[in-house]
Structure 1
Amino acid sequence: MNYRFQHIEYLIALATIPLIVLLYFQLLYWKKNTIKKIGDPKLVQALIANYSPINFLLKFMFFALALTAVIIAAANLQKPGAMENVQRKGVDVVIAMDVSKSMLAEDIKPNRLERARQLVYKLMDQLPNDRVGLVLFAGRAYLQMPLTTDHGAAHMYIQQAGPEVVPTQGTVISEALRASNSAFNSKERKFKSIVLITDGEDHDPQAVPLAQQLAQDGVMINTVGIGSAEGAPIMDPATNTYKKDETGNTVVSRLNETELQQLAGATRGVYVKLNDVDATVNAITKQLSTIESSSLDDNAFRDYKNYFQWFLAIAFVFLLIEFFLPERKLKAA
């Protein structure tokens, strides 16, 4: 039977056990030195006659074993249970969502960022058989969620998305495309699409050449423009005032449609300006349907038996024993 740890990275915490053992021996050394400094050895031995070094060692061992059990419980030992031979037909879709401060502009009510959230929620509802990943970007891009069929997790990440999650501001689209492409299987040359949602405010000269490279790897980029040509000022939530430039003029953020159209055109994708959420979702899903879907095995359909609760129970028992075991010698009845 093949066992595995669900979170094997947590096992690195086992490195604390040797450190605790070292601290234990240092404590013993300190106790011996303290006894020597107190005074007459015979008097000291008489005062600590009820102290049991063996019980003290046992208390330490039970504590160390409990800590070990807790760490193993956190890593969650598993073994495969009943295996269902389930395959699904689907496409891998990475949603790259702009969370820069320009997305707080209110030329689309309530603001661009909130409308982008609404779009992503409805889009995921239309992709039940597809794996979805999530990239949030501004001046930097971060893969927030790898490709998964767990769309509920994606909803949680989208709800928390905002300028504060990406400390570097700006709109660097090429960074978003690179981070999105890293989520795909590099060995496949189809079944892959990036849905880029942004106002495209800052022109990124690297974006279109990169999109052309991704097209050669079978990636379709569908772009969604949020905002208006007239633009709108950007509200800074920290100061509750509109953002100003170095000369004191109010900054106006405008939608850059040209670059987004070029990105979509270079990869057989479609560009849609977000006016109506439902119409935008329909346009994107229609374009995604032109990608030949593949048969994919997904771990979401594997049934694993978890053993973390057993290790937690063992840790609890060890802690109880350590708590009630006295350091003094047990008196004979």
Structure 2
Amino acid sequence: MLENIQFANPQFFWLLLLLPLAIVWYVLKRKKETAPLKISTIKGFKAGGSVLPRLKPILFVMRLLAMAALITAMARPQTLDISSRTKTTRGIDIVMALDFSSSMLAKDLKPNRLIALKEVVAEFIKNRPNDRIGLVAYAGESYTPIPVTSDKALVLNTLKQLDFETLRDGTAIGMGLATAVNRLKDSKAESKVIILLTDGVNNTGVIEPLTATELAKEYHIKTYTIGLGTNGMAMTPVAYNPDGSFRYGMQKVEIDEKLLKDIAQETGGKYFRATNNRKLEEIYEEINQLETTEIEEFKYYNYDEKFRPLALLAGALLFIELMLRYTVFRSFV
């Protein structure tokens, strides 16, 4: 209960230092309240002793409590309820063009490139609650499993279901980029972004990557490119076994970094190289920071004042103290 209380004027608590001074003053003054009287014997007073003089300090205690309550009331105890409402003032439409070729099963990332990518992309999507996001999958061809939408649950579920077997094998970077551009070209968002990831070189497709890059420039679509794969050799699918599973072998990791850098530079984006799981996470975290959504936040403060009960308590104590002083304890004042 008390952890929600705050004080608007805590400086009034300095007045509590007056209470010890009042106690000292009362102790010194009490010794002088009764005039000394010399008599030869006190036998006549022993049987008629009264308890009221011993209870008289209660009046002072009540006054001290009243002062403490009044000082606390002056400090204005209150509870604060803050409610907020946010309004997105600058939305971003993002299309993530992801390579789903069989080489994405390479095991240089754990447990493989594709699973590691899905986990990182899913986290990126969760961290963009105010933006619309769409997915483009490409390998030897490209398609749009889900257009830009604000339904993050639908995007995450679609991402989970995507697999390398969905498309003909190959790496059509130009078609993946062009499809992503087509998803964004009619967008009304103030900022349009493509995040294109691949682990290879463009080796198929009817649209050249540089042609797709010109389309992105024409529609003012910024493109971030990511090359995925370790430096050197990686355990990669090289053939099929008789049972239909992949046979793995060590293959040199080949990524057309020059092409990816050119795409990013021409569209105002940035190129990244992800050589392991942690680096891939850091890249998406950096993109998340680079592409921030402007949000306007309105806060409403509701103060509930708590000083009134304390002020009433102080008044009641003072009233009772005065009544007792001039009634019950009147003969001793």
Q: Which residue of 2 aligns with 1:115?
A: 116
Contact between 1:105 and 1:253, CA under 8 Å: does it hold in 2? Answer: no
Q: Which residue of 2 aligns with 1:270?
A: 270
Counterparts in 2 of 1:263 and 1:124: CA distance versus 1, 3 Å: same
Alpha-carbon distance between aligned partners in 2 of 1:207 and 1:229, rounded to the nearest angstrom = 23
Contact between 2:94 and 2:133, CA under 8 Å: does it hold in 1? Answer: yes
| 1:119-173: CA deviation from partner (whole Å, max 9, x where unpaired) | 211211221110000011100001000111111111111112211111x111101
Contact between 1:231 and 1:255, CA under 8 Å: does it hold in 2? Answer: no
Q: Which residue of 1 aligns with 2:143?
A: 142
Q: Which residue of 2 aligns with 1:99?
A: 100
Alpha-carbon distance between aligned partners in 2 of 1:105 and 1:233, rounded to the nearest angstrom = 6
Task: Find the structure with the greater CA-based Rg.
Answer: 2
Aligned pair partner of 1:217 in 215, 219, 225: 219
* DSSP-derived class of the 1:133 partner: strand
Alpha-carbon distance between aligned partners in 1 of 2:295 and 2:269, rounded to the nearest angstrom = 19
* DSSP-derived class of the 1:108 partner: coil
Is structure 2 residue 133 aligned with structure 1 residue 170? no
Alpha-carbon distance between aligned partners in 2 of 1:91 and 1:208, rounded to the nearest angstrom = 24
Alpha-carbon distance between aligned partners in 1 of 2:295 and 2:182, rounded to the nearest angstrom = 19
Contact between 1:229 and 1:255, CA under 8 Å: does it hold in 2? Answer: no
Contact between 2:94 and 2:192, CA under 8 Å: does it hold in 1? Answer: yes
Amino acid at match of 2:208: Q
Q: How does 1:4-153 map to 2 (within 5 A)?
A: 89-153=90-154
Contact between 1:189 and 1:217, CA under 8 Å: does it hold in 2? Answer: no
Q: Work out the number of aligned pairs and report it.
A: 201
Contact between 1:94 and 1:180, CA under 8 Å: does it hold in 2? Answer: yes
* DSSP-derived class of the 2:178 partner: helix
TM-score, normalised relative to structure 1: 0.55
| 1:221-267: CA deviation from partner (whole Å, max 9, x where unpaired) | 11122102313242257333127xxxxxx754433322211111111
Aligned pair partner of 1:241 in 244, 247, 266: 247
* DSSP-derived class of the 2:186 partner: coil
Alpha-carbon distance between aligned partners in 2 of 1:159 and 1:219, rounded to the nearest angstrom = 26
Q: Which runs of 5+ in 2 are unaligned?
A: 1-86, 297-333
Offset at 1:209? 3.4
* DSSP-derived class of the 2:184 partner: coil
Counterparts in 2 of 1:185 and 1:260: CA distance versus 1, 3 Å: closer
Of Structure 1 and Structure 2, the greater strand share is in: 2
Deviating 4+ runs (over 6 angstroms):
292-295
| 1:173-217: CA deviation from partner (whole Å, max 9, x where unpaired) | 111111111212427585111111111333578212321331121
Q: Which residue of 1 aligns with 2:202?
A: 202
